[in-house]
Amino acid sequence: MNKIRKAIIPVAGFGTRFLPASKAQPKEMLPIVDKPTIQYIVEGCVKAGIKDIIFVTSSNKRAVEDHFDHSTELENWLKKQGKTKQLNEIKNIASMANFIYLRQKGPMGNGTPVLNAEKLIGNEPFMVFWGDEFYTGKVSWVKQMIEVYEKYGDPVLATVRTDKEGQKRYGIIDGIKLDNNAYEIKKIIEKPGSEKAPSNIACVGGYLLTPDIFPILKNLKPGTGGEVWLADALHKLSKKRAMYACLIEGKLYDAGTLLGWLKANVDLALEHPNLKKEFKKYIKKIK
């Protein structure tokens, strides 16, 4: 079985939910406490052993490339100032993985950036993450997904137990429980609502895919809104081979919405070693 070495992170979208903040700055670069959102996703990949991070970008996402590159001027200044801890932290960002950038080309939709990376993936299994969804926990959610793949050998979707609101927002699985955190997926129903949902397990946070998804994406007709959707390709793939859900042990942060981003800032500030004490005092004062 091939080792999982590569992850695709599409970051070419406009981030309209965060306008005007995202007009000149990518939404993926908006900070959660003291790190941009996308760094949490990259760190989750690195902790799981992912070596190559492929960013599918657009012309207005230059800040993502700059963040994961060395900044000689800043590094020299921190060195002169004797700010060793900050210097090491900044240098580590650029060296924690092999970062690859390519521009998104083709029709709109989240299936397009995955297909754009086909030649970089080759005939290997790979992972896909969005730049605004991540989990926290003792074990990287990426590693948890890889463990399910190594056990069953087929595509794996990250999932979480959700509420009625989540059943309106996410794809919900109908599946058979295999062990503590793995389900064999029978089908996925997109945004069914609580009355039609087959379960309370939502697909959110990432995919571990096999290269046979690429010919499906190539021949996929545009779906909702005239766009190419990865979910439509997964539906077709599920008719050809088994597909599994990994029920992630950890807390999901959907920072792709203003409310989700705010919640992530509050929660992670309350865990930050340099902030939690004073921030907790401040929160208690709010009426």
State pLDDT tens for residues 54-84.
999 988 889 999 999 999 999 999 999 999 9
Give 79-84 contacts, CB < 8 A, sequence gap 24+: none
81-138 pLDDT per residue, tens: 999 999 999 999 999 999 999 999 988 888 999 999 999 999 999 999 999 999 999 9
Q: Inform me whether the pLDDT recorded for 48 exceeds 90.
A: yes
Range of the domain at 189: 6-285
Q: Is residue 115 part of a domain?
A: yes
Reduced to 3 states (helix: H, G, I; strand: E, B; else coil), residue 207 is: strand
In a domain, 81, yes or no: yes
Is position 117 within any domain?
Answer: yes
DSSP for 71-115 reads -HHHHHHHHHTT-HHHHHHHHHHHHSSEEEEEE--SSSSTTHHHH
What is the average pLDDT across 218-233? 85
1 lies in a domain?
no
HEC letters along 116-175? HCHHHHCCCCEEECCCCEEEECCCCHHHHHHHHHHHHCCCEEEEEECCHHHHHHCEEEEE
pLDDT for res 116: 95
Could you tell me which residues come within 8 angstroms of residue 83 by beta carbon, excluding any fewer than 6 positions away?
Answer: none
Domain count, the chain: 1
Cα distances from 209 to residues 11, 105, 118, 138, in angstroms, run 19, 21, 12, 24
46 within domain boundaries = yes
Percent of the chain with pLDDT over 90: 77
Rounded to an integer, the average pLDDT of 248-273 is 95
Structure tokens at 162: 């959700």
Residue 13 lies in a domain: yes
Question: Is the alpha carbon torsion for 223, 229, 234, 240 positive or negative?
Answer: positive
Rounded to whole angstroms, how far apart are CA atoms 237 and 206? 16
Domain presence at residue 235 = yes
What's the CATH code of the domain at 97? Answer: 3.90.550.10
**CA pair distance 161, 200, nearest whole angstrom:** 5
pLDDT at 195 over 90: no
How far apart are alpha carbons 256 and 254 in whole angstroms?
5
Threshold 0.75, pTM exceeds? yes
